[in-house]
Amino acid sequence: MNEDRMPNEKSGLRTRLLSRRRELAAEERAAAADALAGHAGELAAPGATVAAYVSVGAEPGTRPLLDALRARGVRVLLPVLLPDNDLDWAAYAGPDALAPAGRGLLEPVGPRLGPEAVARAAVVLLPGLAVDRSGLRLGRGGGSYDRVLARLARAGARPVLAVLLYEHELLERVPAEPHDRPVDLAVLPSGVRRLG
């Protein structure tokens, strides 16, 4: 594929996917969030560490999943957005320990563990707009999670990489660039799918 066309192809796909998310009824989004939480047991064993995130807007809801993981005895790390769009991490201590931050985000209020803390996770849950069957993920284009994936590679860490999506966001092909790294799993309301 022509690399000059790639950013336009990604941008167009992002626009379509975001529009489709906004069209989902609140009841559909809530049902999807509850279904995702039902897969907590498939993602991590008690005592494991999972790096996750707090969903915003029409993203597949993560709040029930975060609480289900904690209830199973999983240590959950959540990101804290840094001024340069990199991510620091802090432990999730429950819904009352989240505070509003910039860009409409909710972030953990606990001590910061540093950007490298993600390398200790057994599973990293990534936001995304789509993934294809080979594991190539389309993010929002901000680069924060590309940095996380690069940091994991530099550290030699090999956590399970999973993207949380709605059913219609598992695609046959996602446009990819050389820096894009594949993920291992798609977590959908209907179940967990191995990719690649």
Q: What residues are designated binding site for substrate?
A: 54, 59
For residue 185, with 0-12 CB atoms within 10 Å meaning exposed, 13-18 middle and 19 or more buried, which class applies?
buried
d(CA 76, CA 35): 19
Q: DSSP secondary-structure letter at 60?
A: P
d(CA 61, CA 35): 10
Which H or E run includes 194?
Answer: strand 191-194
User: Is the dihedral angle over the CA atoms 154, 126, 16, 166 positive or is it negative?
Assistant: positive
Q: Could you tell me which residues are annotated as the binding site for ATP?
A: 10-14, 137-145
Which residue in 123, 125, 136 sits closest to 169, CA to CA?
A: 136
Cα first-last separation, the chain: 20
Q: Could you tell me which residues are annotated as the binding site?
A: 10-14, 54, 59, 137-145
